[in-house]
Amino acid sequence: MTTKAIILAGAAALALGTMASARELTLGMQDNEATPVYKGAEEFARKLEEISGGELTVNLFPSATLGDFKAMVQQAQAGELDMVITGYPDMSYTIPELKLIGAPYVVGDYAQLKEIVAGPWGQEMAAKFEEQGIHVLDVWYYGTRQTTANKPINSIEDMAGLRLRTPNVPFLIAYAEAVGATPAPVAFPEVYLALQTNQVDAQENPLTTIDAQKFYEVQSSIAMTNHFVASSAVLMGAGTWDSFSDQEKEWVTTAIHDGGTLNDELLQKGEAELVAAFEERGLTITHPDLEPFKAAMQPYYDTLEAEFGEGSIAAVTAK
């Protein structure tokens, strides 16, 4: 065999060895390619491939192509999917205590949410995820929900009688009822038409969603009610996580942090810019006193404490 042939054969063997050691992870989500969450996932994939030298890559499956979030979580538990990104409190269907962090006004802002997730309560929840065969890698920002209507909402009294569209989520339905509105669960793809035809008077969503779905075309006012700080949990099947070496776990953790940083920056920048953009479009932006809104939630808090024990809400924010 010539020297050139030996070199080529060696290169081919090295390439085959590298390919054999490479591992492709699968990540599913309901969000589409235009969202900060997807862009954060893209950054995670890019960073992971870079720092692992190509040993770990990620194949992204957006837009619920693998099913809804419950189906994807089940796939991750069964080892059929490596990762899934879904709403953190949405996981209350399998970990009921997460209703507590979903309750309106329990969390004031994303900075506090991060502290909670990293603190004693969050670590207790992480252990409950592990019991379900899921490892929590990180929790990313998803936006703070605000309330739109076709009249200015200057106080809680202006909520009275409004037919307020909410998702079919208990704590958001509880928000509508507590502030005097009539909750009207409408499927998300139908919200624009429901507002346009006056089937409902108002709706609540993060500013970025209000912009993306063009709800500003069929609503004239946005009240900064800040009633719910939404978040995305980046989850990995426990089987996948446990199969990693310490080095691989470090790579994944580093890359997830970078993806989360991009996601959070995009959302926070978008929210800051959108207030001015909505005003330029002619919408009225109001800042009602939120203390009456928070006080109105007390009966709902009482029902949660009846379920999870006295002091359970205070335990969420305890340091």
Instruction: Delineate the domains of the chain, giving CATH numbers in brackets.
Output: 24-317 (3.40.190.170)
Residue 86 pLDDT: 95
* Token code pair at residue 2: 């010539």
Residue 188 pLDDT: 86
Tell me the per-residue pLDDT of 117-132, one tens digit each, with 9 for 90 and over: 999 999 999 999 999 9
Tell me the per-residue pLDDT of 135-144, one tens digit each, with 9 for 90 and over: 999 999 999 9
The pLDDT > 70 percentage for the chain reads 94
Virtual torsion, Cα 273, 278, 280, 285, nearest 10 deg: -110
In angstroms, rounded to a whole number, what is the distance separating the alpha carbons of residues 57 and 110? 29
Using CA atoms, how far residue 104 sits from 139, 172, 187, 228, 304, in Å, is 18, 7, 21, 5, 12
Tell me the per-residue pLDDT of 21-32, one tens digit each, with 9 for 90 and over: 799 999 999 888
Region 162-176: what's the mean pLDDT?
Answer: 93
Virtual torsion, Cα 262, 112, 125, 121, nearest 10 deg: 150
Q: Residue holding tokens 């953190």?
A: 88
